[in-house]
């Protein structure tokens, strides 16, 4: 189960994480977010050794959404060593996510 993060623990959980992190910026009752969710869970269990997955609920954590200029839900941001290396928007397919997880 992916960890919910907020602006308080974002630095320690995401930016300073040893493993690369896939952050799922989602909003409540957003249909594409609901469709994407099971795919994210699959990736999380398939890659538990090499990937950390976190979730940001933008209904509550607007600060993080603003900071990373996220304006569409869902948005996936891939962080490596604290740096954003890729970003995907919308209910993308599993293969498209796998492509950015390098």
42 is catalytic: no
Which residues, numbered 31-50, are part of the site for other proteins (CB under 8 A)? Answer: 31-35, 38-39
Least separation in angstroms between residue 33's CB and other proteins is: 7
Binding flags for other proteins, 46-85, as an x/- string (CB under 8 A): ------------xx--x--x---xxxxxx-----------
30 is catalytic: yes
Q: Does residue 93 bind other proteins (CB under 8 A)?
A: yes
Helical (H) or strand (E) element with 89: strand 83-89
């Amino acid at each position: 189960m992916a960890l919910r993060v907020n602006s308080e623990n974002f630095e320690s959980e995401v930016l300073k994480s040893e493993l690369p992190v896939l952050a799922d910026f989602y909003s409540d009752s957003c249909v594409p977010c609901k469709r994407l969710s099971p795919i994210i869970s699959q990736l999380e269990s398939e890659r538990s050794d090499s990937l950390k997955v976190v979730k940001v609920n933008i209904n509550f954590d607007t600060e993080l959404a603003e900071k990373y200029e996220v304006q569409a839900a869902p948005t996936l941001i891939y962080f490596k060593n604290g740096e954003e290396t890729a970003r995907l928007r919308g209910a993308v397919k599993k293969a498209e996510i796998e492509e950015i997880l390098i």
